[in-house]
Structure 1
């Protein structure tokens, strides 16, 4: 799939460069999935999102981190906090359905795992005000990740229609953070934390950094080439 240029409005950020909103999925009180070794999804999300913000800054983009303290009050507040940004990416880590989980014990703690699926995926909503740009950005991110050797998952293709099968982009129309955003928006699932081997990879700082740099490069290619409309 060829990536058409996407434009940025004249400078929504104070420093004159495009402003990107990076959302940390879940909260301290609702931490999302629990990994095979007992770590919350929120902790994974916060680490990777922080690295994405730093990588964006290195590329000359401004970024705002949403939900940094893990205490955001609602799903609706996430897109509200992204006001003024030209693009919103929400960082998550994936799980599997209960029917696919196997009980096990880790350091004396009863937990569960599934080694059936690993890999990343991306989601856009057809209810977003700029679905075409959302898809273009998701495809740009997916392409960068795959060129760098990151392998997408096939798990989500079982339930979610592909928007761009080559780059593991799916439609998920009713995700609040996507359809209530006023700008193009993408939700990124970095990997499956219930998979025992992938969980260890997702906790590796060097690998997190490589993934963050590829995400940031995909975002930068999307928002600096010219075509995203200013938030309405």
Structure 2
């Protein structure tokens, strides 16, 4: 915890010298009604978790004076490129998701828990995306959350290179929403919903609010890019 606070202090002190913090954020509700994503341990859709979290996150950002554009809340977006098209002009894109595991691990899903963050080296602001992911991860860790590192396992469907193991940040270069964004972009997996205990925890209003506040606090510290997110 002391190390986490030290990193937070260093990043927090460095941020004002670099640039103004973001003032506008696109919050993308991952998946849709037609393609609802993972199924939780109890059979609920990932989209339902994503929508609930995105609405909370949007409200928390607004309370911090950040202008928010909510994308995909109706669940009717079919093309991934439509998400980044709607996000144009915003200074940051946050894609809201909840996590799963590979099929061979579903029978032991109870051992997987925690958040993870993804950024793309093909994003036009890759380094700023990573810096922002670090701010969000630090905020989550300050709130008592811990990352899952199972996406780095050398198996089919995973094998994602870690950008920052201590903070649970991965490179996912070809993820469409991240690489086609015209501003820094971070995908947030808030927890592993195929884990029954994790799903139950994420269903608690106090927990979802804590996570939304943490992500909003980290995002509000992210560095703004020139020209409102256009390269």
The TM-score normalised by the length of structure 2 is 0.88
1:210 counterpart SS class: helix
How far 1:214 sits from its partner (Å)? 0.7
Verify the 8 A CA contact 1:7 1:229 in the aligned structure 2: no
How far 1:68 sits from its partner (Å)? 1.1
Partner deviation per Cα, 1:23-55 (whole Å, 9 max, x = no partner): 000000100000000100000000001000000
Q: Give the equivalent residue in structure 1 for 2:156.
A: none
Superposed CA RMSD in Å reads 1.5
Query: Out of 52, 61, 70, which is 1:65 matched to?
Result: 70
Query: Out of 124, 128, 132, which is 1:129 matched to?
Result: 124
Q: Give the equivalent residue in structure 2 for 1:181.
A: 181
Matches of 1:186 and 1:19, distance apart in 2: 14
Partner deviation per Cα, 1:118-171 (whole Å, 9 max, x = no partner): 000000000000001100100000000001101111212222111112211110
Query: Out of 218, 225, 229, which is 2:226 matched to?
Result: 229
Q: Give the equivalent residue in structure 2 for 1:82.
A: 87
How far 1:187 sits from its partner (Å)? 0.4
Where does structure 2 lack aligned partners over 5 or more consecutive residues? 1-6, 154-158
Verify the 8 A CA contact 2:134 2:169 in the aligned structure 1: yes
1:114 counterpart SS class: helix
How far 1:62 sits from its partner (Å)? 0.7
Q: Give the equivalent residue in structure 2 for 1:13.
A: none
Count how many residue pairs are aligned between Structure 1 and Structure 2.
212
Structure number with the higher strand fraction is 1
Q: Give the equivalent residue in structure 1 for 2:171.
A: 171
Matches of 2:149 and 2:192, distance apart in 1: 11
Where does structure 1 lack aligned partners over 5 or more consecutive residues? 10-16, 103-112
Structure number with the higher helix fraction is 2
Q: Give the equivalent residue in structure 2 for 1:216.
A: 216
Verify the 8 A CA contact 1:8 1:86 in the aligned structure 2: no
Q: Give the equivalent residue in structure 2 for 1:47.
A: 52
Q: Give the equivalent residue in structure 2 for 1:153.
A: 148
How far 1:8 sits from its partner (Å)? 4.4
The TM-score normalised by the length of structure 1 is 0.88
Partner deviation per Cα, 1:47-99 (whole Å, 9 max, x = no partner): 00100000001111110100010001301101101011000000000001111
Query: Out of 22, 27, 30, which is 1:22 matched to?
Result: 27
